[in-house]
Every structure is written in C-alpha cells, then in structure tokens.
Amino acid sequence: MGHVRTGFLPRTAQWNAIIKQLSLFGGDVNVIPTIADGTLSAIKKTYEVMPFDESVIKAIFYLANLAFSAKQMDQIAYLNSQGYIVPESVQKIR
C-alpha cells in the first residue's frame, strides 16, 4: 500500500502478538478494536519508560544544547567548550 516502514518495533511478546494479529487479519472488522487496543497499550508502555532511557536523555540534552548554542556569539566555540567536536568541514560552511 505504499507504506515505508521507518524505525523498528521492539521484539517483545506484546509487539509480537500484535504483528501476529495483523498477519492473520482476515477482514473481520470486529478484530480491529482488539488490535488497536493492543497497539495503544504497547505504545503507552514504551512512552512510560522513555524518561528513564539514557539514550533519550542524551539525545534531548544534545538537541537543547544545540539550540542554545545557536544563540551564542560563537556557536562553534560554545559547542567545543561543551565537549562537542565541530568538524572543520562544517566550520568552513560558516
């Protein structure tokens, strides 16, 4: 149907069950609410643990720092002072 899948689904029992339900779907509209409820429940669980996921915390910290750096007189110097290495190829674009 033209859908391009980006990202991944976790390989948990809950997501595996949803995938199985989708693969077995035969057109019965009465099954759709069950699949939708399972999907929403799985998504909710994913979002509940996000605030404690170190990769999410680091990504948000980086984005906030990057936005703040744009307001500095010398963005590259600020980023370098924060431990981010700005490649020379990017510095030449300025």
Length of the chain: 94
Whole-number Å distance between alpha carbons of 29 and 3: 21
Full domain range(s) for residue 27:
13-51
The pTM score is 0.57
| Token duo for residue 56 | 């999410």
Average pLDDT over residues 2-13: 73
**Domain shared by 27 and 40, yes or no:** yes
Crossing angle of the two packed helices 13-24 and 32-49, in degrees rounded to 10: 150
Domain assignment present for 7:
no
The total domain count for the chain is 2
pLDDT at 1 over 60: no
Please tell me the predicted confidence (pLDDT) of residue 8: 75
Whole-number Å distance between alpha carbons of 66 and 63: 5
**Domain shared by 28 and 58, yes or no:** no
Q: How is residue 94 annotated by DSSP?
A: -
Whole-number Å distance between alpha carbons of 73 and 88: 18
Please tell me the predicted confidence (pLDDT) of residue 9: 72
- pLDDT tens digit string along 9-60? 778 899 999 999 999 999 999 999 999 999 999 999 889 999 999 999 999 9
Q: What is the band of 91 on the pLDDT scale with cuts at 50, 70, 90?
A: low
